[in-house]
Structure formats: C-alpha cells, structure tokens
Structure 1
C-alpha cells in the first residue's frame, strides 16, 4: 500500500545529478564556496547548466554581480566537508580557509577552481530570465578541467537533511550518442 509523501520531501527523490560546489568571487571579497544539488543540463554543445541559487545565499549576490562561477564536483571523500560548507554562510566564514580547500586560478572566470575536485567547470551566466521568479541561472561552461588523480573517484548525491548517497556500479549499454 502506498503512503502519502509530504511535498517538501519530493526533491529528495528527484535530484538530477551529483552535489557540486559552486565557487564565486565578488569584487574586493574573498572567494566563497557553497554546496548545490539543484542543477541540470540544459544543452550539450555548448554545455548549458541551469542552477538554482537561493537569493538568501551569500553566493547569489556574487553570482548576480559578476555573472561568473565555477561548478566543482567533489569526491565522496569530501562528504563531511560538503555538509559543513552547507551549514555555514560566506557572510562570516572564510570557507576555503576553514575547510582547507585549495583555490586555484581559473582561465576565464574570477571565481577559483577547487584543487580537491574531480572536475571543475568554469561558467558564465548566459540567461537570467527566471532568476527573479525562481532564482534560476542558466550558465554556459566555457572551460572544463579534470583531475586525473581522481579518475575513479565516486561522486555524492544529496537526498536532503544530511543524507547522501555515493555513486554505485557503472553500467555500459549500447548507445548511438558519442
């Protein structure tokens, strides 16, 4: 028999991809980083990624002002750090310093890459049509970096309220896509 699911828990079952770390850097400010799981691919070439960043988050103002960010995919080994990053604010915390993340210079954006990430995606805001209504930014990835040392690292997926899952077994099936 099925049971009612409270609507505020729906997102726990629909999260589309891995938890990412969004880095921003406003002018004359320290770089900031926040975990984010509300994102999705919109297009492939060029890569367009839609992201929801709540306007109450410190990163929202920097992203809106600069139109730039980095989306970094952390390995599962950083799950405690990812959770801690989400439980404090960049308004009063130097998150890179407190959580010992390595900021690296990006090629096309001011926001830093994260040295401990599996992948870093330099992004520029492409569309803010839904920003006012839904806090949704559509970003174009302009440069991508991969950490070869983390080739086999597992990614984490946020399921709400401190619950994460780790990637499981990879399955390969025939596909006409590249």
Structure 2
C-alpha cells in the first residue's frame, strides 16, 4: 500500500455527485458549484452542505435561508467547472453559461432546467456554519427532469478530475433490514 497525505481524505471519501446551488439575494439569483455535501437523515430529509464565506452565495444563504440544489448530468461538466471558477459578484453566470432557470414552488432561488434533479431547500440549522461552514438544509420539494437523455453524474476528486457514475447495481433483495424505507 502507498500512504497519501491525510489532507487528501476527501479524494477517497468524496461526498457524492457534484451539484450546483442556486441562491437569490434581493431578487438577484446566483449559482455556484459545490462538491461537499451529504445526506444526514431520511425523514425529514436533511442535507449537510459546506458553503464558505469565500463563496458569493454564502451571504445570500445566511440572509434568506433558502437555496436549490441541482444535480447536473455529465453533459454539463464543462459548465459546472466554469461556474465554479468565477464569482457571482462579478458575473451573471446564468447569462454567461446559458443556464436556463425555472421558478421554484416554495423558495425564491430558481430551479436549473437542464439538470437531472432540483431540490428546494430551507436552512434548518446554522450552528456549525461559523466554525465549519456547514449548513443543515431540509429538502422541501424535489423535481426530477425525466426528459434528460444524459443521466450520468460526476463525482469530484478534488483536483479537477471526476469519476463518472452511470451504471447501477441492484441489491434490493439483500437489504432486508432497510425495507421499510421509501
């Protein structure tokens, strides 16, 4: 075995598919790319996400307490990286990258039309946001875009490389302890 730096732990335990997060501050929507998030519980569905003060979206999330987490497909890979490499305080990312918006039902930030899924969220806990930039969000609604042909998701490795997920392994018959979950 080869030892690697402990600072690279996130490359081994990556948190899930790369996502895009929309926020809205005083009617101005913004979008950012996020790689650090996790499911915390099933019901109510709680999501932990790391958004730090270095992100333009941070203040909007702190002030409004709402966002949309959108899951892009592989066909949006270059856009996802480009969105993550510029700031919404200087750039209208929707216009620059041709991101199509749709109104959400329960929150002000928009849904991203071209993503596989959009999750409308409200912040329910900020106790760890000052020390760890960790926000706890409750999923209020989820929208699935069934018309998307590209269904593969990207998983960030932390160095500009991604793992592409696309296959499925079905072991439902072995999940006897968890059959009660939806």
TM range (shorter): over 0.9
Q: Secondary structure of the equivalent of 2:159?
A: coil
The match for 2:19 is 20
1:152 shift after superposition: 6.1
Q: Flag structure 2 segments of 5+ consecutive residues without an equivalent.
A: none
Q: Which runs of 4+ in 1 moved over 6 A?
A: none
> Separation in 1 of the partners of 2:21 and 2:95?
16
> Separation in 1 of the partners of 2:165 and 2:14?
13
The match for 1:57 is 55
Q: Deviations over 1:12-61 (max 9, x none)?
A: 11112111101000114x21111111000011112110000011110100
**What is the 5 A alignment of 1:58-137?**
58-137=56-135
1:3 shift after superposition: 2.5
> Separation in 1 of the partners of 2:56 and 2:106?
22
The match for 2:34 is 36
Q: Flag structure 1 segments of 5+ consecutive residues without an equivalent.
A: none
TM-score normalised according to structure 1 size:
0.94
**What is the 5 A alignment of 1:154-165?**
154-165=152-163
1:6 shift after superposition: 1.8
Give aligned pairs, total: 176
Q: Deviations over 1:38-89 (max 9, x none)?
A: 0000111121100000111101000000000000000011000001011111
Q: Deviations over 1:95-148 (max 9, x none)?
A: 111010011100000000000010000000000110111000000011110001
1:151 shift after superposition: 6.7
TM-score normalised according to structure 2 size:
0.92
Q: Secondary structure of the equivalent of 2:11?
A: helix
